[in-house]
């Protein structure tokens, strides 16, 4: 029975306003990832394959987790995040809404952006909503076909898309899932019959002990 454990990367450079500047772990992000790796080893979790996206924050998270101790880490660009900064700039052109600067505004902005993206209203963007959906689905199916227990280090938007696909969520449900996903949280999908089922969501056991509550971050 194929089982895939998805990990959102550690806290990145959240002060940035573009894709390139965002794509590196903060000091806390490195610490979160190291704690997750320690927790996985302490709880005797095992994986026969390890994957991550090609983004710097994915690679740094996998390295800080010492994920290579399970298996060589395979980088796969299909596991990369949606380009939120680029999409936000296109959405600003479409709607005149500026990219948010607070978590409250972000919670309003994200479903509107995703809805416009899905509807095909955004121009000059790296990929369509349908293309993102297809690459996520293809990557997960390939990993599930090749592995019994896979570890995948990726991003919140991609993990949210996985939950959308396995739970049949609408665009607003997808946005709510994305907004809930915490840095270095773990999520699990398991093949049940001919399809994948969500069997774990947003686990942060490695951040729940005394002295680590400050590390429970969303951005």
pLDDT for 192 equals 87
What are the structural domain ranges in the chain? 3-82+127-210
Query: Residue 166 corresponds to which tokens in the numbers above?
Result: 């396995």
For 117-174, write each residue's pLDDT tens digit. Answer: 999 999 999 999 999 999 999 999 999 998 899 999 999 999 999 999 999 999 999 9
| Spans of the chain, pLDDT less than 50 | none
pLDDT for 7 equals 98
CATH superfamily placement of domain 3-82+127-210: Phosphoglycerate mutase-like (3.40.50.1240)
CB atoms within 10 A of CB 81: 23
pLDDT for 88 equals 95
């Amino acid at each position: 029975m194929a089982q895939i454990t998805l990990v959102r990367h550690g806290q990145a450079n959240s002060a940035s306003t573009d894709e390139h500047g965002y794509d590196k772990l903060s000091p806390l992000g490195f610490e979160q990832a190291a704690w997750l790796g320690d927790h996985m080893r302490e709880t005797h979790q095992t994986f026969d394959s390890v994957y991550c996206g090609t983004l710097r924050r994915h690679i740094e998270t996998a390295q800080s987790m010492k994920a290579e101790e399970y298996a060589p880490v395979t980088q796969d660009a299909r596991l990369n995040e949606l380009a939120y900064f680029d999409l936000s700039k296109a959405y600003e052109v479409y709607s005149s809404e500026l990219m948010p600067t607070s978590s409250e505004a972000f919670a309003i902005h994200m479903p509107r952006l995703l809805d416009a993206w899905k509807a095909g209203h955004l121009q000059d963007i790296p990929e369509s909503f349908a293309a993102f959906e297809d690459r996520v689905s293809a990557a997960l199916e390939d990993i599930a076909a090749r592995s019994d227990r896979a570890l995948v280090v990726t991003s919140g938007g991609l993990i949210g898309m996985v939950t959308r696909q396995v739970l049949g969520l609408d665009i607003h449900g997808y946005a709510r899932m994305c907004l809930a996903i915490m840095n270095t949280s773990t999520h699990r999908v398991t093949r049940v019959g001919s399809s994948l089922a969500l069997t774990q969501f947003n686990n942060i056991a490695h951040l729940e002990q005394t002295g680590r509550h400050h590390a429970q971050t969303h951005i």
